Amino acid sequence: MVRGARRPKSDFRACLEPLHTLQISWRCGRTGMGTLVDIQRGQSLLQPSFLLDGLELLAIASRLFQEGDPHGFGETTVALTLLAEQGQQQGLMAAVWYLLDVAGWLGDLSHCWQCGREAEQTMFWQHARLVCDDCGQGMPVSVGLRKSITAVLSGGHILLGAADAGRWRDMISGVLNEHGIKVTDSFKGM
């Protein structure tokens, strides 16, 4: 927290661009977080063309990891790296999927999230959950799509086809909606 940082005359205003590394100095207070003394802005964490996706990612991360949660910083850093490495569209999906996974909102892609059975066939996406054909029905999630998602998340350079990319996007939007996180138009429009 930087008191008054958004005021037009604030010395810190120009430094506090999002998605940049910052070197900050502060004086510890007797209570609370103390007083910020100096900020030096370092390099940008993303290329300019990724900034909107990066802001979207930060907005989602701030909902998943609440104030006081010891988790979140490292996870968000990994997600930003995924975004930068995988490129636009697919990169944002990979990054958001990763965050949802580490936040504990997803299961693994080889087992039914309902009964736990290992599924070697097409599975289904129902109410923001991956289920086997015994447990439900809904949008088909093929073996190929599940393998592609796993590969992309581990840094593989696989470009999903338009249909699979659309399914993955729908899966992510479904999970976000289920948990009351609004997706912006930039995410819906992918």
Footprint on this chain of Zn ion (rule: CB under 5 A): 112, 114-115, 117, 132, 134-135
CA distance 100 to 188: 17
Q: Give the tokens for residue 118.
A: 């290992």
- Tell me the closest approach of the beta carbon of residue 136 to Zn ion, in angstroms: 7
CA distance 186 to 183: 8
- Tell me the closest approach of the beta carbon of residue 114 to Zn ion, in angstroms: 4
CB 119 within 8 A of CB 103: no
- Tell me the closest approach of the beta carbon of residue 109 to Zn ion, in angstroms: 13
Of the pair 112, 172, the CB lying nearest Zn ion is at 112
Of the pair 120, 185, the CB lying nearest Zn ion is at 120
CA distances to 21, 42, 114 from 128, rounded to whole Å, are 35, 39, 11
Of the pair 115, 159, the CB lying nearest Zn ion is at 115
CA distance 121 to 134: 12
Of the pair 15, 131, the CB lying nearest Zn ion is at 131
- Tell me the closest approach of the beta carbon of residue 132 to Zn ion, in angstroms: 4
CB 68 within 8 A of CB 42: no
Residue 70 host element (H or E): none
Of the pair 92, 112, the CB lying nearest Zn ion is at 112
- Tell me the closest approach of the beta carbon of residue 84 to Zn ion, in angstroms: 36
